[in-house]
Chains A and B, each alone.
Chain A
Amino acid sequence: MRARPGFGHLLLVMPLVAAAAWIHWRGTRERDDPAQILSVLRANAAPTLPAPASCRATSRSQVESYDRTSLYTLIDGAAESYLARGFERCVAALYTFSESGSSPTEVTAEVYRFATPAGARELFHEEAPSQGRAVAGVADAVTDGTVLLAVAGRDLLKATAVSGGGDATPFLAAVARAWHGEVPQ
């Protein structure tokens, strides 16, 4: 014999109904944007350099990291102006691009993280090559074929060709494009 639903049963179901209603309300009112979450996560992560495959490099040296106390070991006296602009961290590596029939092209890449976007942008304007040209596909990037500077959010990318053989723009731009695709905006 079945018991008929009573007030007691209703009391048992009510919390479940309330929880479901609250979840539904949250879902419609405060839906999290996955892109925003990713952006926040990336902004709080350490600065990164692109994987060699993503910029079509043959190889990349071990990535070295620097902080406010060790930056001078990478850039000596230039460190002071970086520190004054809120430098936080840096990663650096050497990329090698090998093409059949020509000697390899090597590019050093350094990404400097600042406390605010203003710090990165100030140094971008200070160090950008005076006769630089824009880099296709990368906003806020300039190169003169030997050096490339790009800025995105709190990060400043500086890439320098360190092997002979003419215009290194294709390799510098490849690093910048790959980096720009990963950097927090």
Chain B
Amino acid sequence: MSHDASTFDRRELLRRLSAAGLAAGAVAAGAAFFHDRHTPSSRPRAIPDWRLPGAAGYPAVVAARGPDPAANVRRAVAALGGMERFVRPGERVLVKPNVGWDRLPEQAANTDPAVVAELVRLCRSAGARRVVVTDISCNDPRRCFARSGIAAAVAAAGGEVIVSDRLRLVPADLAGVAQGLEVVEELLTAERVINVPVVKHHRLSGATLGMKNWFGVLGAGRNRLHQSVHRAIAELAATFRPTLTVVDATRVLLANGPQGGSLADVREVGAVAAGTDPVLCDAWGAVQLGVRPTDLASIQEAAQRGLGRAEVGLVQELGTA
């Protein structure tokens, strides 16, 4: 069959339509494949609320003391009802310690590795499918995770460390905190979140505790929050609602924080607190630092906003093992 240039039959029409369809499909597939979702134009993601409904009969915060940080974690979590109360079989858990600094555990700038590892073990024992440990370090992230002892301890406990240069950051709805900041995507996809700050001095905010620890899930530009740091810390506490907070006061950096370095600035306290009230956890941490909770504006503001209570007397002290 022949046809001239101005007319074509049904077969030719179908052939041309198929070719055009294939070309359009290829362009669409390419656009979907190469599209960079990591752009400010992406739609901000909502921050989940990871809290569980309160269970009657358990204290809000429990503190345990003793020379073994892992034992302190076990005792405190057990007094809250055990990790099974917070983590269900098959869930993905994100553990957020403070791993900001290229420092040894003895220098007390990062969360103690034994505390982090024990939490990973408890989560795995409770049936967690995956336990990710991450933080956006200030110093070289690989050196921070290695030097702090956290990388090795977490691996041995069955967890997975993701250093910050492997993290994916996505725009998130942080309207109350600041516009345009990005958040670690692993955090947003986790089903349970455990915040594990270390208690230490901070030159700007007075102390680094649990609420301040959320700086470590924010991407570039988080220094803008330093301009009004106490309000920003309270706002972070209103935005990030963890399943559980575990405050590490195994060693406390009393001066020259947040990075520290001198062993003369470190005091061995040997205590860990765990709880579901992040403000009360911070109030307890402030006392371990030698600071009255009423002297930290961030704790006061968070309490006034109803994010928790700042009365340290509410903490159940288990005593020394």
A interface residues with partner B (beta carbon < 8 Å): 72-81, 94, 108, 127, 129-131, 144-147, 158, 160-164
- What would 9 more interface pairs be, CB under 8 Å, given A76-B215, A76-B258? A78-B203, A81-B203, A81-B204, A94-B143, A108-B102, A127-B256, A129-B264, A129-B265, A144-B263
B289 to chain A, nearest CB (A): 15
Name B226's contact: one of A72, A108, A130, A147 (CB within 8 Å). Answer: A72
B205 touches A77 (CB 8 A): yes
Tell me whether B258 and A146 are in contact (CB under 8 A): no
Nearest CB of B to A165, in Å? 10
In the bound complex, CA of A129 to CA of B104 (Å): 18
Any A CB within 8 A of the CB of B138: yes
Find out whether the CB atom of B262 lies under 8 angstroms from the CB atom of A129.
yes
Report the bound CA distance from A145 to B205 in whole Å: 28
A-chain residues with CB within 8 Å of residue B204 when the two chains form the complex? 77-78, 80-81
A75 vs B223: C-alpha distance in the bound complex, in angstroms?
Answer: 11
Please report the C-alpha to C-alpha distance between residue A131 and residue B262 in the assembled complex, in whole angstroms.
Answer: 10
Contact assessment for B226 and A75 in the assembled complex, using a CB-CB cutoff below 8 Å: no
Q: Whole-angstrom distance from the CB of A109 to the nearest CB of chain B?
A: 12
Task: Name A's interface SS.
Answer: mixed
Residue from B203, B204, B261 with most neighbouring chain A CB atoms (10 Å): B261
Any A CB within 8 A of the CB of B300: no
Query: Complex Cα distance A129/B229, Å?
Result: 27
Judged by a CB distance under 8 angstroms, whether B88 is at the interface is no
Residue B130 CB within 8 A of the other chain: no
Q: What are the interface flags for B34-64 relative to A under an 8 Å C-beta threshold, 1 for contact and 0 otherwise?
A: 0000000000000000000000000000000
Contact A147 B262 (CB under 8 A): yes
Q: How does the 8 Å CB contact mask read for B266-303 relative to A, with 1 for contact and 0 for none?
A: 00000000000000000000000000000000000000
Please count how many residues in chain B sit with their CB below 8 Å of the partner chain's CB atoms.
Answer: 30
In the assembled complex, which residues on chain A have CB atoms less than 8 Å from the CB atom of B239? none
**Complex Cα–Cα for A162 and B100 (A):** 14
Contact A78 B258 (CB under 8 A): yes
Q: Does B129 contact A (CB under 8 A)?
A: no
23 contacts between A and B (CB under 8 A): A72-B223, A74-B139, A75-B259, A76-B138, A76-B215, A76-B223, A77-B202, A77-B203, A81-B203, A94-B143, A129-B262, A129-B264, A130-B255, A130-B264, A131-B264, A145-B263, A146-B261, A146-B263, A146-B264, A147-B261, A162-B107, A162-B147, A164-B106
B223 interface neighbour in A79, A129, A158, Cβ under 8 Å? A79
Contact status B259-A79, CB under 8 Å:
no
B74 within 8 A of A: no
Residue B103, interface by CB 8 Å: yes
Chain A residues within 8 Å of B255, by CB: 130
The docked-state distance in angstroms from the alpha carbon of A120 to that of B138 is 22
Complex Cα gap A146–B262 (Å): 5
| Contact A164 B259, beta carbon cutoff 8 Å | no
Please, which residue of chain A has its CB at the minimum distance from the CB of B224? Answer: A72
For B106, the chain A residues whose CB sits under 8 A away are 164
Determine the chain B residues whose CB is within 8 A of the CB of A80 once the complex forms.
203-204, 226
CB of A128, distance to nearest CB on chain B (Å): 9
A82 to chain B, nearest CB (A): 10
